[in-house]
Amino acid sequence: MTEMLRNARQGWLGMTDCGKVMALFLAALLFLWLYHRKERQKGLLLYTTVMTVCCILPFTAFILMLYQTKFYDYEWIWSMVPVTAVTAYGGTVLLADSWQDFRRSAWRKGLPVTLGLFLIALLCSGSWDSVLWRENRAERSRTAEVLEYLTDGEKGQELCLWAPRKIMEYARSTDSSIRLPYGRNMWDITLNGYSYDQYSEAVTDMYRWMCLAEGTGETKEEEQQGESPSAVACLDTALALGVNCILLPDNTEQVLLNEVEGLLQMQPEQTSGYYVFWTE
């Protein structure tokens, strides 16, 4: 509840931090109220204005967040405000006026206004970090390659895979017949709202151990503090959960690799940057 109150208070600031579409929307709303007095759609404008105020003020925003259930974040209360429709409405009215109902002869006024509005729209836009997405796409295709190798080698058994996060991230969406000891919701905690199930401490340790094998910074610190999970316990949990294939990255520290080889008493296969241990 406290977090929701904080979201309601800071949500509006968050909405306006990178792009400025909301500023454009407020300007369009103001324009329609002040300039376009003969407006036929007063009902729509009245509703939009009231809801806008409700979404901006923390107390009413909090009530709206309660109304839309606690499942959704602050930004979704703005669904109730026709932001795009009203902004486009304001823009269209302004353009139609400046072009005198789209007459070619009115270009002296119409063209600068059109270009100006286009420029404003451009300046109000922000950028979403698509670099991350391109990296993800590369990882996804690499995962597909690795999974193809694994499903070819599973010898008719159902594959239950324990692998580094990069593989686990896309495993189930690439091939839904693969089973995992833990899924994407281990690191994307927003997904935990979809189920009552929770991971046991032993399974969480498996994830932490695999992060250690991958060399994640966070787990390195834990290791230095002597809090790293033990390989024996993690392998025991994995085998108890029915894991029949373990993947380790090829940059795994030799000590760790030797420990796993010793515990499983087998030599791994190697493919596309991973060591593969078939436990059955």
Partner 1 sequence: MNFIVEVWVTLIVPCLCICMGMGLWKLLYRKERSVPSLADALLTGELLLIGLAEAAHLGAVFLGRSFSDCTLFFRILLGAALLLSGLVMLGSAGRERRKGRNEGGSRGIGNMESAEKVLAAVFLGLVLVQLIWVVVNAGAYRRGDMTVETVGSFLSADGIYTVNPMTGQPYSLGIPSRLKILCLPTLYGILCRLSGLEPETVVYTVVPVLVAVSSYAAFGSVGSCLFPNSRKKRYCFLIAVAILFWTGSYRYGMDGFGLLYCGYRGVSVRGLVLLPYLISLCIRRRWKPAILCILAEACITWTLYGAGAGLLLTAGLFLAERRQPHDGNA
Site residues for partner 1, 216-255, by CB under 8 A, read: 241
User: CB atoms < 10 A from the CB of 101, how many?
Assistant: 7
Number of residues in contact with partner 1 under rule CB under 8 A: 74
Residue 71 in the binding site for partner 1 (CB under 8 A): yes
Shortest distance, CB of residue 137 to partner 1, whole angstroms?
A: 8
Identify which of residues 3 and 197 has a Cβ nearer to partner 1 in the complex: 197
Distance CA 211, CA 196 (A): 25
**Span from 63-71, 211-219, 220-228, 257-265 in contact with partner 1 (CB under 8 A):** 63-71
CA distance 65 to 54: 11
DSSP string, 209-248: HHHHHHT-HHHHHHHHTT-PPPHHHHHHHHHHTT--EEEE
Minimum distance of partner 1 from residue 116's CB (angstroms): 13
Contact status: 164 vs partner 1 (CB under 8 A):
no
- Contact residue for partner 1 among 180, 213, 246, 247 (CB under 8 A): 180
Strand 274-278 with 161-162, pairing: unpaired
Q: Which of residues 82-111 bind partner 1 (CB under 8 A)?
A: 82-85, 87-89, 91-92, 95-96, 101-102, 104
Cα–Cα distance for residue pair 126/110, rounded to 1 Å: 26
Beta carbon of residue 188, minimum distance to partner 1 (angstroms, whole number) = 6
Least Å from the CB of residue 142 to partner 1: 15
Q: How far is CA 89 from the centre of its chain?
A: 31
List the one residue out of 120, 97, 93, 75 whose CA is nearest residue 39.
Answer: 93
Residue 162 phi, psi dihedral angles, 5° rounding: -125, 120
At closest approach, how far in Å is the CB of 106 from partner 1? 11
User: Which one of the spans 76-84, 228-236, 259-267, 270-278 is the region binding partner 1 (CB under 8 A)?
Assistant: 76-84
Taking CB under 8 A as the criterion, the residue among 111, 115, 191, 233 binding partner 1 is 191
d(CA 106, CA 98): 7
Q: Least distance to partner 1 from the beta carbon of 270, Å?
A: 26
The answer to whether 43 contacts partner 1 (rule: CB under 8 A) is yes
Which of 23, 30, 46, 111 binds partner 1 (CB under 8 A)? It is 46
CB proximity list for 194: less than 8 A, separation 6 or greater: 185
